[in-house]
Amino acid sequence: MVQDPLRAGFGERLAAGVAERGPLCVGIDPHPSLLHAWGLDETPGSVERFAMTAVEALAGEVAVLKPQSAFFECYGSAGVAVLERVMREAQSAGALVLLDVKRGDIGSTMTAYAMAYLDEHSPVSADAITVSPYLGYGSLAPAIGIAEQNGRGVFVLARTSNPEGAGLQQSVHGSGDSIAQSIVDSAAESNRGKAPLGHVGVVAGATIPPGELDFSSLNGPILAPGLGAQGATLKDLKAVFGRALPNVLPTTSRDVLRHGPNGLREAATRIKHDLALMLNP
């Protein structure tokens, strides 16, 4: 696979999107409870109505939309067909699509996952995906390489916002650092020398203790879940990420989607406004 020299890298495309639209990332999660709150049932048709309403309201407003693949996959081929449409329509409206799939495997299987989600000819090709490094960071090499060749990105789980992750992610690595810090440092190596940002981001929850991780050498984006429903606030973002804050993509889903089809754009606009005030006081 030969890299197109005219294709901008993911870091460059992301930086341009954030400069134009701000850093907010909104999840599209057709969870049953949200479907019911919108007066919808649990069918592929309702999932399509829910997700496409979100795309129409948000894809022209935010830099990044993050569909959660599982909530589409559970409806089988009909749900995946909805996901394909959601991704294409969101990209056509100018949003980058970060597909939340959290894939992680070895060798040819990891390559197949990468081709499924990061090759431009795939029907579910995203601008970036989430990946899990817990078979070893080196196992992600196919995804990292294919993403770079295709001008796309990966976000590696480092320090997630769920409480269950802390025991593993805070464990001490052979280097003396935590497992989470070793993942951040490995991502930094993948991004070395890239401008304006590398294509390897990390996932680090906005709910983690301030100062736990050092992002100073990352040179890549940070996806920060936990804003809103999981308890994190905009003030927490500044405390947790410090000088790395300009590279943070705060992400929320329920805190926007719970406002329903008529209120979700206004909710996202309000969060965008508050973020802009924090970043540019």
pLDDT tens-digit map of 41-90: 999 999 999 999 999 999 999 999 999 999 999 999 999 999 999 999 99
Please give the Cα distance from 224 to 275 (Å, whole number).
Answer: 13
**Domains of the chain: total:** 1
Please give the Cα distance from 119 to 213 (Å, whole number).
Answer: 32
pLDDT at 256 over 50: yes
Kindly state whether residue 177 falls inside one of the protein's structural domains. yes
Closest of 187, 94, 89, 180 to residue 147, by C-alpha:
187
Kindly state whether residue 72 falls inside one of the protein's structural domains. yes
Q: Which of 102, 194, 238, 272 is catalytic?
A: 102
Query: Taking all residues of the chain, what is their mean pLDDT, rounded to a whole number?
Result: 93
Kindly state whether residue 160 falls inside one of the protein's structural domains. yes
Kindly state whether residue 3 falls inside one of the protein's structural domains. no
* Percentage of the chain exceeding pLDDT 70: 97
176: tokens are 């003396």
Residue 3 is predicted with a pLDDT of 38
**CATH code where residue 98 lies:** 3.20.20.70
User: Can you list the positions of beta strands (E) in the chain?
Assistant: 25-28, 64-67, 96-103, 128-131, 153-159, 200-204, 222-224, 248-252
Instruction: Residue 171: give the domain boundaries.
Output: 10-279
Residue 29 is predicted with a pLDDT of 97
Residue 226 is predicted with a pLDDT of 85
Other beta carbons within 10 angstroms of residue 179's beta carbon come to 19
Other beta carbons within 10 angstroms of residue 235's beta carbon come to 9
Q: Confidence band (pLDDT; 50, 70, 90) for 6?
A: very low
Kindly state whether residue 2 falls inside one of the protein's structural domains. no
SS3 content of the chain, % helix, strand, coil (to 5): 45, 15, 35
Average pLDDT, integer, range 211-233:
89
Kindly state whether residue 1 falls inside one of the protein's structural domains. no
Residue 269 is predicted with a pLDDT of 95
* Residue 102 bears catalytic tag: yes
Kindly state whether residue 189 falls inside one of the protein's structural domains. yes
Q: Confidence band (pLDDT; 50, 70, 90) for 173?
A: confident
Kindly state whether residue 5 falls inside one of the protein's structural domains. no
